[in-house]
Amino acid sequence: MRTKNSNTIVMAFMGLAILSSAAAGNEIAYDIQTPTIIASDDLGSHYLARPEVNFPDTTMVIDKAILELWVEPQTEDTITFVSIRVYPITIDWSSDAVSWTSPWTNPGGDFDDVFYAEYAIGSTGAQEIQIDLTDLCMRWADGRLPYYGFLIAVSEVSLVALEFLNGGDGDGPWGTLRITYTSMPEE
Enumerate the domain spans of the chain: 25-183
* Backbone phi and psi for residue 126, each to the nearest 5 degrees, phi listed first: -65, 135
| Distance between CA atoms of residues 99 and 107, nearest Å | 9
The helices-and-strands tally (H runs, E runs) of the chain is 2, 10
Instruction: Give the chain's mean pLDDT.
Output: 85
Any idea what DSSP says for residue 161?
A: E
Residue 78 sits at the vertex; the CA angle it makes with 169 and 167, to the nearest 5 degrees, is: 15
Per-residue pLDDT band for 88 (boundaries 50, 70, 90) equals very high
How confident is the model over 77-83, as a mean pLDDT?
A: 82
Beta bridge partners of 66: 132, 178
Per-residue pLDDT band for 1 (boundaries 50, 70, 90) equals very low
Q: How far is CA 136 from CA 75, 80, 118, 131, 172, in A?
A: 31, 27, 11, 11, 25
Residue 2 has pLDDT above 50, yes or no: no
Return the biggest CA–CA distance within the chain.
79
- Domain 25-183: assigned CATH number: 2.60.120
* Backbone phi and psi for residue 9, each to the nearest 5 degrees, phi listed first: -65, -45
User: Among 9-23, 31-45, 50-64, 125-139, which is the least confidently predicted range?
Assistant: 9-23
Helix (H) or strand (E) holding 148: none
Residue 168 has pLDDT above 80, yes or no: no
Residue 24 carries which side chain, given as an amino acid letter?
A
Residue 24 has pLDDT above 60, yes or no: no
